[in-house]
A and B are shown apart, each in its own frame.
Chain A
Amino acid sequence: MALTTQRVDVPVIVDESKCLEKCQACIEVCPLDVLVKNPETGKAYMKYDECWFCLPCEKECPTNAITVQIPFLLR
């Protein structure tokens, strides 16, 4: 089956300049398990667009690197 790469607006934005490479806090707490580390940069990002806009990731980040937006379709 053919797969396309479709652009979507993802709700979670990580400020890479603030994200700490040794930290895992947001990834550990997300109930939907949608955040991961980019193995190349060591920075967190939203890998899957499956977000309940519940905010634990943002609240637990020690450097305020995360901003959760309301998913576009609901905004």
Chain B
Amino acid sequence: MYDDINDELNPWVEMLQSSAVEDRLVAVKTLQHMGDEEAIVPLIQALEDEDTSVKKIAITAIWELTNPIAVKPLMACLRSPDAEVREEALSALKELVAPADLLILLDAIEEDNFYMQLNVLILLRKIHDAQALPYVLPFFESEREELREAAITTLRYLNQVETCPPALALINDSSAVVRREATLTLGYLKDEEVIELLCEALTDDPDWQVRRNAAQSIALHKDTSAISWLKKALSDEHWQVRKFTARTLQEIADDSVIPALVKCLTDEYSDIRRDAAIALGNIGNPEVLSVLQQTLDDPDADVRIFSQRAIDKIRQQQTTVNQ
């Protein structure tokens, strides 16, 4: 059947045609370990095997050979009803797909198969090509939240895309999972409404992870118009929102947030005490020196260290100003 295959491989390639599944398993495993590139064609054929384990090992074996001719046959595995087969094929393709495969991917995404669409949305993140945008957009309105989530996530990997009005609506999606990703993606978009939407998400979204992600995205924009919202978020009920808000305030802050940050110096969570101390040091107002001084016997080593650095920083600024 494969005349050009060498003697060492031959017995295993033949065994791969056996009717006993045990033999096919041993054969495909052995071919995987041998790692001989000549086995690629019989291995691709084994992707059609009726046994799931044989199929899975064949995917891994092909993956280890990293031959681009395997992209198409592996893509076919992405619509497999078996979750393990899909997962293994996706992992293999994450490594194999190259920018040159864009058209194959865009072709596949138009196929009416949920798994195929989901997996291709993930693979597009490896290529970062804005040409994919028109193919991604329709999924923002998909019935399935998994596809909306995957699409809005993929958008932030399409680096040339700067504005994308249809994406903004997803920050008010009914699903929290979608809103979380939308909030992160908005960190990378420059549409006019973005800051306002993020500020609203930061303070009003019922899901704390959305609020936390909003704080992170605002840090990317470094937009001072967000300061008053951030100040409010410093007293959020969830500690991670307070933490990431304090971190964002290390980048943009002014005297108006000092009282709120000082309050954070006694927060129950050490991360917030530390991050607030850093923010106060960056603001540089010497009036906070005495409160910072009080944190130097904090039980947590990080708080002590960063408080001391904040104090040093403020003092240094004072001396340079005085000179």
Q: Which A residues contact B (CB, under 8 angstroms)? A: 20, 22-25, 28, 60, 62-63
Contacts and interface: CB of A to CB of B under 8 A. Distances in A.
B33 A25 contact: yes
15 contacts: A20-B25, A20-B26, A22-B22, A22-B23, A22-B26, A23-B25, A25-B30, A25-B33, A28-B33, A62-B25, A62-B26, A62-B28, A62-B53, A62-B57, A63-B53
Nearest to B25: A62
B29 interface: yes
A23 B30 CA distance: 8
Interface of B: 22-23, 25-26, 28-30, 33, 53, 57
Contacts of B29: 23, 25, 60, 62
Nearest to B24: A62
A74 B28 CA distance: 36
A26 to B, nearest CB: 10
User: For chain A, what secondary structure do more than half of its interface residues adopt (helix, strand, loop), or is it mixed?
Assistant: loop
The residue among B29, B30, B57 with the most chain A CB atoms within 10 A of its own CB is: B29
Contacts of B57: 62
The 7 closest A-B pairs by CB, nearest first: A62-B25, A22-B26, A62-B29, A23-B26, A25-B29, A20-B22, A20-B26
Given A28-B33, A63-B25, 7 more contacts: A22-B26, A23-B29, A25-B29, A25-B30, A62-B26, A62-B29, A63-B53
B20 to A, nearest CB: 10
Contacts of B33: 25, 28
Contacts of B22: 20, 22
B225 to A, nearest CB: 52
A22 B29 CA distance: 11
Contacts of B25: 20, 23, 62-63
A28 B34 CA distance: 11
A38 B130 CA distance: 58
Contacts of A25: 29-30, 33
The residue among A22, A28, A62 with the most chain B CB atoms within 10 A of its own CB is: A62
B63 to A, nearest CB: 14
A35 B172 CA distance: 57
B58 to A, nearest CB: 11
A9 B62 CA distance: 38
B109 to A, nearest CB: 32
B137 to A, nearest CB: 40
A25 B61 CA distance: 13
A31 to B, nearest CB: 15
Contacts of B30: 24-25
A44 B24 CA distance: 19
